[in-house]
A and B are shown apart, each in its own frame.
Chain A
Amino acid sequence: KAGVTQTPRYLIKTRGQQVTLSCSPISGHRSVSWYQQTPGQGLQFLFEYFSETQRNKGNFPGRFSGRQFSNSRSEMNVSTLELGDSALYLCASSLDPGLEETQYFGPGTRLLVL
């Protein structure tokens, strides 16, 4: 069974631009979560989606948004990019969110904002 895939793997943008990242969960998984990893703040939760509904959101500004499609694939969007948005963005999928089951992470998208 294929793992969690994320595209693109690397991205370079300039301040003020917007970016869309994509995540395809493991087949059959319906919950997708997004995390931001930076050297200073470590891993921080962005949001979680299940059945196309955002069920939980972290403490990030409204510039960060996401959505989930009927096939469970998810995208996250960052508008008006700032230098501090440079980070590794990780998504994770799990089978049954109600049971807090093991989350499986993708390889991440490394975003550099210049």
Chain B
Amino acid sequence: KQEVTQIPAALSVPEGENLVLNCSFTDSAIYNLQWFRQDPGKGLTSLLLIQSSQREQTSGRLNASLDKSSGRSTLYIAASQPGDSATYLCARYTGFQKLVFGTGTRLLVSP
């Protein structure tokens, strides 16, 4: 069974800090991985999609890496801002667009 774990479950940092969110998965099969953010009571916003053939993707202050051999992905957020406060979710594709989600990391960035 595909398991996706995210640590830490919650993170509180002052504005301006660089931070790393971790995602680990048990299935070493070659599938894509996607990072999302979710604001309270809202839907999911896609941040980055890392294809199985890639090692990392970058978008603005966000950088996501994928290490299939160790079953890990990390999301790096540079120079955090209060607007980055949200829950961050990673999800593995398992075929036919089925995503298996992690439990999420709740991030709070204080001014």
Contacts and interface: CB of A to CB of B under 8 A. Distances in A.
Interface of A: 4, 31, 33, 35, 42-45, 48, 50, 55-56, 58, 88, 90, 92, 94, 97, 100-108, 110
Contacts of B96: 48, 50, 55-56, 97
B98 interface: yes
For B49, B89, B97, B103, the residue with the greatest tally of chain A CB atoms inside 10 Å of its CB is B97
A38 B32 CA distance: 24
Nearest to A55: B96
Interface in B86-109: 89, 91, 93, 95-104
A105 B45 contact: yes
A66 B102 CA distance: 25
A31 B45 CA distance: 17
29 contacts: A4-B43, A31-B97, A35-B99, A43-B89, A45-B100, A48-B97, A50-B96, A50-B97, A55-B96, A56-B97, A56-B98, A58-B98, A90-B43, A92-B99, A94-B97, A100-B31, A100-B32, A100-B51, A100-B93, A100-B97, A101-B49, A102-B34, A102-B46, A103-B46, A104-B46, A105-B44, A107-B42, A107-B43, A108-B42
B98 A48 contact: yes
B49 A90 contact: no
Interface residues of B, number: 25
Nearest to B51: A100
Interface string B30-57: 0110101000011111100101000000
Contacts of A92: 44, 97, 99
A97 B101 contact: no
Contacts of A108: 42-43
B101 A42 contact: yes
6 nearest CB pairs, A to B: A56-B96, A43-B101, A105-B44, A107-B43, A105-B43, A100-B93
